[in-house]
Structure formats: C-alpha cells, structure tokens
C-alpha cells in the first residue's frame, strides 16, 4: 500500500528539478534493480536539514549504494564528516565510487558491517543519525542513537509507516517492531518526535 495518493506522489516527483547527474544515475539504478532508496522527495529534505542544522557530523545506518548518504554528503562542506555503514561490500564500493564521481567535498568513511555495532564503536557525538537498517532492529537503535547524538541532534528513521502495514489489524513481526519503535520515540523523554507521511513515512526525533 502506498502512503500518499499516487497522483500526488507523481505530481510531487514530477515538479522536482533534476539537480545532479550522479543522483540521476543512482535513481535509474535503483529503478532497474528495484533497490529501495529514500528517493528525491526525502533526499531533498535530508539536504535541507543538514543546512538548517549546520550539521557537521553524520552517521548513516544502512547505506545501500549510497543514495541517501550522497544527499547528506552534498550538503556538507569540506569540514563535514559522514560515516556510511552497510552489510554489502559491493554496494559500499559503489557508494564510494558515486561519492568520487560527484566530487563530494566532506570527509567520508565507508564502514562494512552491522551499522548498529559500528554506531557503538565510533567515537564522539553526531549531529544527525539516519536510521535505515532492517526494520526489526529499529527499537534497538533508539537508546544507542540517544547515547551518540549531541543535544539538539536529530535521529531520522525511514519507513516508519512500513507501506501502510502499521494500520493492519494483524501486523506481522517486522511491522510490530516498527510499531514498537514509533511508540517508543513518542514515549522517550530524551526525544521530541514527529512523523511525516512522506514516501514510506519518515520520523524525526530531536534529542532534548
Ligand atoms: C532500504 S536500503 C536503503 C539504502 C539507503 N539508506 C538509501 O536510501 O539510499 C537499506 C540498506 O541497509 C542495509 N542494512 C540493513 N540492516 C543493516 C545493518 N544492521 N547494518 C548495515 N547495513 C544494513 C541493507 O543491506 C540495505 O542495503
């Protein structure tokens, strides 16, 4: 089930300018291989948030071939730093080459392995943590991200409406984990959260 009316979704996509040939190539690749990426509607929002927050240090959990990371990377200047994490070495290598093609200026680190474990192993605090790991891991990410975000930092999670399955009467195990995550972000006094029903639903949790 799509979250947004199909016509509206098409309209929102059609009015966007194509800003970057590398992003265009990544979007074509995602379409051809049916690989899930956040897409330009969410990508542009990520870009704006980096600018608004003047973010300097970003960690991404579940980077695929680097599409969402590329949007973050584009918004960071040469003093910025981004850490991408991904299980697939092959996709991480692609991310590296897209970053090089796009002449992304910030310092970029490409970590192969479990993003949640890498989150715990990295030093220092982050301005933004973007969470796009396997959905059954979402509840586990929340306290770990809270420990590594600066005050005023943002935890962003993709797919929090999970193709509309969050309103099904008999949700499966993965959907139950997404539901649990959504409940936790509003209960957790460390955060002030909101969910935007854009694409597949994105949550924004501000660390207080
Ligand atoms: C939905 S894709 C999204 C990719 C990327 N965030 C984007 O929008 O362009 C999720 C990716 O996260 C990876 N992944 C899932 N769980 C992970 C984990 N715990 N650690 C590292 N990578 C993970 C998967 O291999 C997949 O490539």
**How much is the pTM?**
0.97
In angstroms, the CA 134 to CA 41 distance is 21
Q: Which tokens in the block code for residue 186?
A: 């509003």
Report which ligand 1 atom has the smallest distance to the Cα of 130: 6
pLDDT at 1: 63
Residue 129 contacts residue 61 (beta carbons within 8 Å): yes
Q: What are phi and psi of 107, to 5 degrees?
A: -75, 125
Report which ligand 1 atom has the smallest distance to the Cα of 70: 9
Residue 192 contacts residue 206 (beta carbons within 8 Å): yes
Q: Which of these CATH numbers, 1.10.150.530, 3.30.70.20, 3.40.50.150, 3.30.230.10, describes 6-207?
A: 3.40.50.150
The closest alpha carbon to 135, from 201, 166, 181, 69, belongs to 181
Q: Say how many Å lie between the CA of residue 64 and the centre of ligand 1.
A: 5
Q: Which residue has the tokens 């605090």?
A: 125
Mean pLDDT estimate for the chain: 97
Best residue among 82, 122, 133, 137 to mutate for probing ligand 1, ranked by most atoms within 8 Å of CB: 133
Residues lining ligand 1, Cβ inside 6 A: 36-38, 62-64, 67-68, 85-88, 91, 114-116, 132-134, 137
Query: Which residues of the chain are modeled with pLDDT < 70?
Result: 1
């Amino acid at each position: 089930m799509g979250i947004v009316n199909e016509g509206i979704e098409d309209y929102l996509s059609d009015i966007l300018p194509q800003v970057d040939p590398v992003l265009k190539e990544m979007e074509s690749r995602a379409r051809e291989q049916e690989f899930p990426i956040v897409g330009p509607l969410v990508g542009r929002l990520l870009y704006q948030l980096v600018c608004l927050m003047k973010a300097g240090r970003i960690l991404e959990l579940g980077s695929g071939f680097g599409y969402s990371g590329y949007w973050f990377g584009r918004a960071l200047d040469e003093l910025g730093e981004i850490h991408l994490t991904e299980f697939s070495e092959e996709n991480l290598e692609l991310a590296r080459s897209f970053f090089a093609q796009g002449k992304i200026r910030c310092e970029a680190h490409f970590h192969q392995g479990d993003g949640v474990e890498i989150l715990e192993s990295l030093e220092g605090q982050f301005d933004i943590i973007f969470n796009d790991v396997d959905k059954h891991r979402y509840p586990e990410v929340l306290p770990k991200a809270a420990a590594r975000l600066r005050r005023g930092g943002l935890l962003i999670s993709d797919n929090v409406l999970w193709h509309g399955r969050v309103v099904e009467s008999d949700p499966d195990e993965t959907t139950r984990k997404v539901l649990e995550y959504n409940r936790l972000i509003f209960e957790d006094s460390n955060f002030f959260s909101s969910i935007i029903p854009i694409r597949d639903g994105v949550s924004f949790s501000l660390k207080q």
